[in-house]
Chains A and B, each alone.
Chain A
Amino acid sequence: MNKKLHSFSREPGPDSNLDLIPQLVQTSSAFLFEPERIVPFDVALNWQKDFQKTLMDQPFSPQAVWFLQHESCYTLGRGSDKKNLLFDVKNSPEPLYRIDRGGEVTHHAPGQIVGYCVLNLNLFKKDLFWYLRELEQVLIDVLGLLGLEGHRVNGLTGVWCQGCKVGSIGIGCKRWVTQHGFSLNVDCDLIGFERIIPCGLDKQKIGRLNDFIPDIKVCDVQPLVRESVKRRFKLKWENKKLISH
């Protein structure tokens, strides 16, 4: 692969007297995928696995980012507690996937932007706590661009707006190559969340952006999410023309 994609030069900012976070990367490149159609969960999972495996074998191969919507489904993290499902597992009202990410059960549905990032944290910072906070900041920045105030809740992972959880985060990592990512409720049907205890948080109010900005659509928000991810992780999109799978 083209090793020039990754610049390792380190240049301390003019104002910094103690450069504590080594900025290994100034920019790194990633493929950007924004499928127009709704994607089945397992299909997207396989896309991620392919990129993750290549990155583990060849650390300088390109990273990848997807922004897409899933058909209605539930996913369970590896350590998930089935108590958080308010229905019989064998009789799930919607497809149910047990997957290799952290966290409890969550729900996907059309109208929710799902962002998957297969990034090589060896190029950024080998720190999953840092990575989770950066993903939260991506969403907080998006809300900020929409004039909404997003915030974190101490001790929890995710992004809240006016007391309702609008963004969820769950990641998996192998040799510091990440998979999974975040979801942001834009104008999805929230009824699916009522059959679970999302993220194991009892009495957590789930919200969506069109509760605060009527008529807002995924197509309004997705470009902001794309730019926010690009800026936060200093990514350069590898493919100029957007590829849809």
Chain B
Amino acid sequence: MATHDIFMPALSSTMTEGKIVEWLKKPGDKVGRGESVLVVESDKADMDVESFHDGFLASIVMPAGSSAPVGETIGLIVESEDEIAAVKAKSPTPSEPVSADLEKSSPPVEKKVSLSDSSNRKTLTNEKTVVPQIPISPPQVFNDGRIVASPRAKKLASQMGVDLSTVRGTGPHGRIQAQDVQSANGQPISVPWIAESDSPASISTSSSQTEKSTESEKPPLPGKSFGSRGETIAFNTLQQAVNRNMEASLNIPCFRVGYSILTEELDSFYKKVKPNGVTMTALLAKAVGLTLARHPQVNAAFSSGGIAYPSEINVAIAVAMEDGGLITPVLKNADETALADLSRQWADLVKRARNKQLEPHEYSTGTFTLSNLGMFGVDRFDAILPPGTGAILAVGGSLPKVVASKDGSISIKKQMQVNLTADHRVIYGADGALFLKDLAYLIEKNPHSLSS
């Protein structure tokens, strides 16, 4: 009755694709629960993949020698011997396990078919395959109202906004595979999505009202999701870590204090230093670092022994990860480090965060955290305090606002709202307010001092 998929396992949190070294079973072979069915290789590591069910290997979807994305169906297990034939008949892919072995004495035409077939499967390459698609016995779609898709295909579809009911499945039983979703969407796999707070304030800042309106003609992108309707997706390691920290923060008595900062001076300073490779993230981190140096209380944290004043000012900046969770790479000694160095360090940290290559000291030693959603056009938000630190600053976008000045005149100026979340055991309202006032003074009146 039941068909069970064998999926390409993740041998590592950074692995996107695995290579099938060897099938230890042939189609039709009996397999026991817990028995090794195939071997997957990544780098110098081999992993035996086991069956989670008693039954028979009905079909090998991905032959030995081929690569498949993590989570993709690579084989099918059925519970009884009778079902093997049915699965085989419905399976549109050549179920000969040796189809990767092109050196075999197969006739040239057939060779070509399996060639294009296997290159179609390498879905994770940058370019769409140019090999002309030779139709391989057009797959019938058996979706009598019910959509059968691999978990990875479902995930991709929801990420790409592809309606699965419009996708023709080329997998066994007309099952929709990741590659089908990609070809339906007409694009190879999406580039890593990472919300680094590097296109700051200034993107929305530099766009005047009119630019904004043309921009808004483009419909916003659909939101990200890790699963589709009706599904429950397990948390990954990073998400679990974030969960623990967020829950721990519930035990911290926090308060929030906000400030509006004019950004015209900062913007013109940014334009001047941008050619030197200075980024807005570095400017913000430096501004916060210099202000923290004058307000050590806001850099302090609660500890069981009392108020702990760190020896350094390390500004951590939250970065969302493409596959869920977030990480807070740290710019060490942000008050003393030159803008260009901060910019370089940040670019390197983000790059390595993406590849999950950060060392613990590079994301766990922040003494103050910055979270910037300005690049999304957000005007204000508040952030949750990471345990172990005293305060976090939520930075909104810098947007044109009608501003009344002291002499009663009214003008339009660009303003950025910042919101400080602080642990009241260490930082009091007045500490937070003075810190923000000083930060605003630096950004509004004295941005040039950032380069010193």
Contact = CB atoms under 8 A, between A and B. Distances in A.
Interface of A: 12-22, 77-79, 100-103, 127-132, 157, 169-175, 199
Nearest to A104: B44
B188 to A, nearest CB: 22
A171 B388 CA distance: 38
Given A22-B240, A78-B41, A169-B44, A128 B11 contact: yes
A16 B388 contact: yes
Given A18-B328, A20-B238, A22-B240, 20 more contacts: A17-B245, A17-B387, A18-B241, A18-B364, A18-B366, A18-B386, A19-B241, A20-B327, A20-B360, A20-B363, A77-B44, A78-B41, A79-B21, A102-B43, A128-B47, A132-B45, A169-B44, A171-B46, A172-B48, A173-B47
A129 B244 CA distance: 25
Contacts of A22: 237, 240-241
Nearest to A172: B46
A21 B289 CA distance: 27
Contacts of A16: 360, 364-365, 388
Interface string B360-377: 100111100100000000
Nearest to B304: A14
Nearest to B65: A79
A131 B363 CA distance: 20
3 closest residue pairs by CB, A with B = A17-B388, A129-B12, A128-B45
Given A22-B241, A128-B12, A15 B388 contact: yes
A131 B45 contact: yes
Contacts of A17: 245, 316, 328, 364, 366, 369, 386-389
Contacts of B195: none
In this complex, the member of A15, A131, A175 whose beta carbon has the largest number of chain B beta carbons within 10 angstroms is A15
Interface in B15-51: 15, 19, 21-22, 36, 39, 41-48, 50
Contact of A19 (B12, B43, B245, B366): B245
B13 interface: yes
Nearest to B238: A20
Interface size class for chain B?
A: 35 or more
Contacts of A130: 12-13
B12 A127 contact: yes
Given A19-B245, A78-B22, A129-B11, A173 B388 contact: no
B232 interface: no
B382 to A, nearest CB: 18
A128 B49 CA distance: 14
28 contacts: A13-B364, A15-B365, A16-B388, A17-B245, A17-B366, A18-B364, A19-B245, A19-B364, A20-B241, A20-B364, A21-B241, A22-B237, A77-B44, A77-B46, A78-B46, A79-B19, A79-B46, A128-B43, A128-B47, A129-B15, A132-B43, A169-B44, A171-B46, A173-B47, A173-B48, A174-B36, A174-B47, A175-B48
A12 B387 CA distance: 10
A101 B21 CA distance: 11
Interface in B238-252: 238, 240-242, 244-245
B258 to A, nearest CB: 23
B50 A175 contact: yes
B50 A18 contact: no
Q: Is the interface of A mostly helix, strand, loop or mixed?
A: loop
Contact of A157 (B22, B36, B44, B389): B44
B276 interface: no
A23 to B, nearest CB: 10
Interface in B423-448: none
B14 interface: yes
A33 to B, nearest CB: 23
A160 to B, nearest CB: 15
Contacts of B303: 14
A15 B48 CA distance: 38
B71 to A, nearest CB: 15
A131 B14 CA distance: 12
A181 to B, nearest CB: 11
Interface string B40-82: 0111111110100000000000000000000000000000000
Interface in B77-105: none
Nearest to B364: A16
A65 to B, nearest CB: 18
A129 B14 contact: yes
A73 B369 CA distance: 55
A18 B327 contact: yes
A17 B43 CA distance: 33
Contact of A174 (B21, B48, B242, B360): B48
Contacts of B242: 18
